Structure formats: structure tokens, C-alpha cells
Amino acid sequence: MTTLQTPTNNRQITLAARPQGEPKTSDFTLVETPVPTISQGQVLLRTVYLSLDPYMRGRMSDAESYADPVAIGEVMVGGSVCRVEQTLNDKYQQGDWVVAFGGWQDYCVSDGVDLLKIPAQLAQKSYALGILGMPGLTAYMGLMDIGQPKAGETVVVAAATGAVGSLVGQIAKLNGCHVVGIAGGAEKCTYAVQELGFDACVDHKSDNLSDTLKQACPKGIDVYFENVGGAVFDAVMPLLNTKARIPLCGLISQYNATALPQGPDRIGMLMGKLLVKRIKMQGFIVFDDYGHRYTEFSDAMSNWLQKGQIKYKEHLVQDLNNAPEAFMGLLKGENFGKLVVQVGPDSL
């Protein structure tokens, strides 16, 4: 089996079995196929960077969701930064950099309709998968459109040093908010405060999460950007202010669950809180709901980046073969920053 990207072989990581609980290495299979050929109107894309994201766990399940599951034996889905290796499409030239949805493989074929060209001036092309890609769009639109932060309000974000949460907090600070992060471990909490500029960050691994969060939010919580759920939301819920807003981005704490969580049923409590305090809680699927506003986001984020007002951290893993282990670590919070796999070199 080839261990590095080559011009002649196409390594693919396919779904071997639907996980029961946490994914295992046996749920994935590494196969090798010939590099595909193209016909008129198509381009051959070579993957240079692959994005690993929590939503992929849902696509491994056949439970009803907003998108079709990956079939057994199919290539795992995922966004990718690719180079055009061959082209029979007038809109693309050999060597062009594009964002695609090529999945966990070295090569894929596209008719060009679903591709987004990456500006030549973007020095770090992998940023198109993070701060200028889906995570960035998620943070910006979820916070600004649903959260609608106002100067002086308290914004709390879970997974505060992750690809989405780190940007949510920084955007909220740019809007004059008091920002509190929730992250796993002292190192991440220190980074959120000292590097990202959060006002405070609480360790969700601590025994007194609820008390510590309450101390960090003396005026309660006006906006809670939800991407974790579970015990973190249990600590947040009592602190929500009247007319608080909750952009519901994800629930990573539940993605590996095989049964309902232990403890009392909190649905009644939550519904009562939403009613009495007139809280808005809205889920969103970012490209379905906000894909048409990408330019608005890109202009704002690019401006902040250029001025040095936003900091961004990547967790780079080398080689496609390591994608399954890296993905399993992502679901446990082991990554520090946006998780990206470098599948191949800039040029072969």
C-alpha cells in the first residue's frame, strides 16, 4: 500500500462499518485505486489539504439527518483544498487552487460547478478550510445573524479554542462584548485569554464548572454559542438572561452517544426557561442557510486578518493515512486549533 501521495495511485479512506459509540480504526478502510480519468468539461483535482470536522461523525451514521449518510464502502466526505492537475474545462487551468468537497482521498473529479477558486494572494491555502472557510462562516453568521451581539453584553462560547469557537470569541470582542470561553484544560484556557483576548475561560474538566462559570459571568449570559451540549449546557442554562440568544451550531458531546444521557430529564426545565425568559434558540446548517452570504463574511474576515485583529491556530497532521486517528482525537477534544490533514505537497 502506498504511504505517500503519487501521480499514479489514488489512496482512499472509506467507511467500513457504522460506529457504535466512539469510532474505531476498524470503522475505516484504506484502499488504493487508479487515478480517475476525466472527460470534456471536467477537471482532475489532487488533494493537498483535507479538513476534519465534527459533522463527519453524523455522516457515518444512518440516522435521519440534514444530509445523506456515507454508504458503507464509500469514500468519507470532507472539504478539501486541491490543485487542478488536468483540465478539460475552460474555467480552470492546470495548477489552479480550489476548494472542493473531495473527501478523504488523493484525487477526485469535478465538473467545476461545486468549486471555489482560492485567491492567489492567500499565502496559506489551508486557511480556505478554516478561518476563510466553513468554520469561519459558521462562527461569523451564527454569532452575527442569530446571536446579534451588542456592546456590553456577555457572550459565552464552548470549545473556545476550536476552529469555530476561537473565532466566535474574537468576533464578539470586536463587537465590544464581555467574552467567556469554555475549553478543556488549563493550556487551552490560558491560550483563550492570553492569545485570543477572551476576558475569561473556564475549564469544563473542573469539578466546579457551574460555580466557576457563574463567577466569570456576573451579569449572566446574553449570547451562548452552542456547539457542545451535555454538562456544559447544564452549567450555562441557569445563567441565561431574559431575551438571550443561542445559536445552535453542534452538539459534539452527544455525537458518540448510544443512549439517552443519565440523570433527570431536563427538557421541561429548558422549555420553561425558553418561555419565561423569552430566549431564542436557533439551529442552523451553515451552507444551506448562509452560503449565499459568503462574500459578506469573506470581506469582513479578510479585513480583520489583514489588520491583525483576528488570530488563528491550525492543528496540522501529516498524511492521509493518519486521518482516522486524527478524527477520533477530534471527537475527544485532543486537537488544538483547526484540524487539517496535509495529504500531499503543493506540487508533485
- The answer for residues whose C-beta is within 8 angstroms of residue 317's C-beta and 6 or more apart is 52, 323, 326, 339, 340, 341, 342
- What does the pLDDT read at residue 332? 87
Q: Is the pLDDT of residue 243 over 90?
A: yes
Report the distance separating Cα 239 and Cα 234, nearest Å.
Answer: 10
Tens digits of per-residue pLDDT, 164-197? Answer: 999 999 999 999 999 999 999 999 999 999 999 9
Q: Does domain 136-287 have CATH number 3.40.50.300?
A: no
Mean pLDDT to the nearest integer, 120-146: 92
- Looking at the chain, the whole-number percentage of residues with pLDDT higher than 70 is 95
Residue with grid cell 458518540, as numbered in its chain: 256
Mean pLDDT to the nearest integer, 61-71: 85
Question: What is the enclosing helix (H) or strand (E) of 197?
Answer: none
Q: Residue 260: which pLDDT band, with cuts at 50, 70 and 90?
A: low
- What does the pLDDT read at residue 65? 76
- What does the pLDDT read at residue 263? 61
Q: Is the pLDDT of residue 334 over 90?
A: no
Q: Residue 2: which pLDDT band, with cuts at 50, 70 and 90?
A: low
The whole-model pTM stands at 0.82
Q: Is the pLDDT of residue 68 over 90?
A: no
Map out the domains of the chain as residue ranges. Answer: 9-130+313-342, 136-287
User: HSE of 52 in the Cβ direction (CA atoms, 13 Å)?
Assistant: 31
**Fold: same for 9-130+313-342 and 136-287:** no
- What does the pLDDT read at residue 315? 92
Q: What single-letter amino acid sits at 75? A: V
Architecture per CATH, domain 9-130+313-342, reads as Alpha-Beta Complex (3.90)
